[in-house]
Each structure stands twice: as C-alpha cells, then as structure tokens.
Amino acid sequence: MTALEVLAATAFTAALYWACILLQRRFRLALLHPVLVAVLVGGTLFALLPPRWLDAYLEGSAPITWLLGPATAALALPFFRRRAFLAAHPWTALLTVVAGCASTVAVVWGLGALLGLSPALRWAATLKSVTLPVALGLAEVVRTQPGVTTLCVFASGLLGSAVGPALLSWARVHSPMARGLALGTLSHVLGTARALEEDPLSGAAGVVALTLSALLLAAAAICLSLLID
Amino acid sequence: MRSSPPWTGCLARRSSSSGRKHRGHALIRTALQLVLLGALFALCRWAVERSGVPVPAGLVALVLLTALLLTRAVPERAVGGGADALLRILPALFVPSGIAVLRELPMLRGHLLSLVVVLVASVMLGLLVAGVVGQAAANRERQ
C-alpha cells in the first residue's frame, strides 16, 4: 500500500459518495441510497478497468476500512442516549429482538439449505440484519465475504424500510414501540430512520433494537463459529 | 432606509471572530475525541489479537464504550462530538467493502436467485414475527 494509492482511493471514495448524495438530494428516492449507488457505479467502473486497478483501490482503501472499527465503537453513543427506552421497556425490547432474530435466522438456514445455498452465502444472509460496521467485523470471524455481506445488509435495510411499515400495518401492528423494534431488528439503521419518520418513540425503539440485535446475532455467530471450528 | 448604528459592525466583527474561535475549539475537541475513539479501537484490536479470541475488535470496543458510558467512567461529552462526526461519515466508509463484491462474483454465480428469495422471505417473516411479538408485549405492558 503506497501513499499515492491511499490518497487516490480516499479521494475517489469521497468524490463518488458526494456525487451520489447530490443525486439522491436531486431525485429524493429511497432506492437511490448514496452507498448503494456508489457501490453500483464504482463496481461497474472497476469491472470495466483492468483487475489491477481494483486491487490498487482496495489496497489503498485500507485506512477507510480501518475507520469502521472506531465507527463501530461510536455506535455506543446513540444507544447510550436512548437507554431510558430500554430501562422503561426491557422485556418488550428483548422479547421482540430475540423473536425477530431467531425467526429470520431460522428462515435463512432452513430455506437456504432447501435451495442449496453454500454455508458462506447463508452466513452472509444471516448477517443481513446486523448493522454494517458490526456485520463486516463478523464476516471475518465466520469467514464469509465482505462484499456479499454488504449487499445482503443493504437488501435487508432497503426492503425493510420500503415494505416494512405497510407489512406491519397489514399484520395490525400499530404500537409505535413494536413497529420501531421490528424495523430496527431487521433493517438496522435504514429501518430505524424509517421508524423515526413515523414517531419519535419508534425511532428510539429502533436504535435500541438495532444495537441489541447486533449484539445478539454477534454472540450467536461467534458461538456457532467456535462450535463449527 | 434606516442605517445600522456604527457600533453594530464592530460588534458583528467581534462576535464573528469569537464564533471562529469557538468553532476552532470545537474542531480541536472533535479531533481529540476521534483520536480517543481510534485509540480505544486500537487497544481492543491489540487485546483481541493477543488473546486469539475470534471476536471483532470493533464489537469489543462498542461493548467496552457502552459499559464505560453507563458506569459514568467516561462522560458522554468526552466522546460525543467525535462519535457523532464519525457516524455522519459512516456510510462513506462502506463503499470500498461494497465494491469488493466484484472479487466475489464467482461465489454468487448460479445462486443469486436463491439468495434473493432467502433474503426477501427471511426479512418479511422476521418483520412479521418481531412486529406481532412486539405488539403482544406492548399490549401486555399497557394492561
């Protein structure tokens, strides 16, 4: 990794992300999430270039990827600020997060085995409801691929925030707390942002749920990977 | 048109210079807090590598910082600004990991449709189960 690679990769990432933010501001579509568009545009660009360009970019972006570590630690702050919600509704929060995580993981492994998905892909799909900085750390532990994990996390976030509110209304889930907890558990930050649009209580529930769900799935993934090893 | 009193310009200049100074202090404080968060992560990474336990160092740092905040060993104002700054740029940090999917395309070949089916089904069912359980628990809490 040379200084030039680091500089070029950082400048490219920043410029691409900034351009994608401008694009979303212009069209205001949830599907045009800046990270998703940046990944699609950047991916297409590197697919057209010789493979050594992608190698150089990924080498040069090591410092950016390193920053995900302190950023994961920073997630403690939003959780800490909403600790009153957890103190007021500890059992509702825990029960909902455990039910959401257990059911989604059961579907991934059951349906995944039925459809012949490899264990690496099943792990990537398991990590889909974990907030991305934690999911990327866990991908290393369970030996799945960071790129596929990123796409799964995005799919879960976008799908949950797009159809989640209507699905919850159809199932007669009207409590703001239950809606926020469900969206935060399955669709992490994107779901929480959607929940916050509905109600401040839903937003607080979402933040608590996304942290609890990350911790719960992390504990499960680490225990399972130790057992498998 | 009423002209402004002559002293307002001087006041504005003074307040803008004190504003700049304040912004400068806030910037230094945020930078120091970012260094603190980086040091916390580096320490956790060192401990994880030394112990050989297969845990992401970032997750250890998250749990440790939560514990430090809850026990008030670290006050919120000591890391709050830095954490907020880092979380604001967080989405941009995901771009390289996402682009890395290009290296993993062979893994997806022939399995993309199955993966999409699994993702859609597991997200929908997970949302329904979590929502229904949450609603039942909320109803019980109200009683």
Give pLDDT tens digits for B78-108: 998 999 898 888 888 888 988 988 888 888 8
Query: Measured between alpha carbons, how far is B64 from A224 in angstroms, rounded to an integer?
Result: 23
List of chain B residues whose C-beta atoms are within 8 Å of the C-beta of residue A190: none
Of A99, A128, A218, the CB nearest to B129: A99
pTM of the model: 0.83
Cα–Cα distance, A153 to A131 (Å, whole number): 7
Q: CA–CA separation, A171 vs A97, rounded Å?
A: 17
CA–CA distance, A146 with A144 (Å, rounded to integer)? 7
Closest chain B residue to the Cα of A120, Cα to Cα: B107
pLDDT of residue B17: 66
B115–A138 C-beta distance less than 8 A: no
> How far does the CA of residue A35 sit from the closest CA of chain B (Å)?
6
pLDDT digits (tens, 9 = 90+) for B103-126: 888 888 889 999 999 999 999 999
Percent of chain A with pLDDT over 90: 57
Residue of B nearest to A128 (CA): B119
Please give the radius of gyration of chain B, using alpha carbons only, rounded to the nearest integer.
25
With a cut of 0.90, is the ipTM above it?
Answer: no
Alpha carbons within 13 A on the beta-carbon side of B130: 39
Bigger pLDDT: A94 vs B53: A94
Contact check, Cβ <8 Å, B56/A140: yes
For residue A172, what are its two tokens?
A: 């007669």
Ranking A13-17, A47-51, B36-40, B51-55 by mean pLDDT, the lowest is B51-55
> Which of A72, A179, A190 would best serve as a mutation to test chain B binding (most B beta carbons within 10 A)?
A72
Residue B17: alpha-carbon gap to chain centroid: 32
B69 neighbors A44 (Cβ within 8 angstroms):
no
Cβ-based burial of B22 (10 A; exposed 0-12, middle 13-18, buried ≥19): exposed
Shortest CA gap B50–chain A (Å): 16
Residue-by-residue DSSP string for B77-120: HHHHHHHHHHHHHHHHHTHHHHHGGGGGHHHHTTTHHHHHHHHH
Question: How far is the alpha carbon of A208 from chain B, nearest alpha carbon, in Å?
Answer: 12
**Residue A108 · residue A227 · CB < 8 Å:** no
All residue ranges of chain A with pLDDT < 50 are none
Nearest CA in chain B to A139: B56
Assess contact for A79 and B97: CB atoms under 8 A.
no
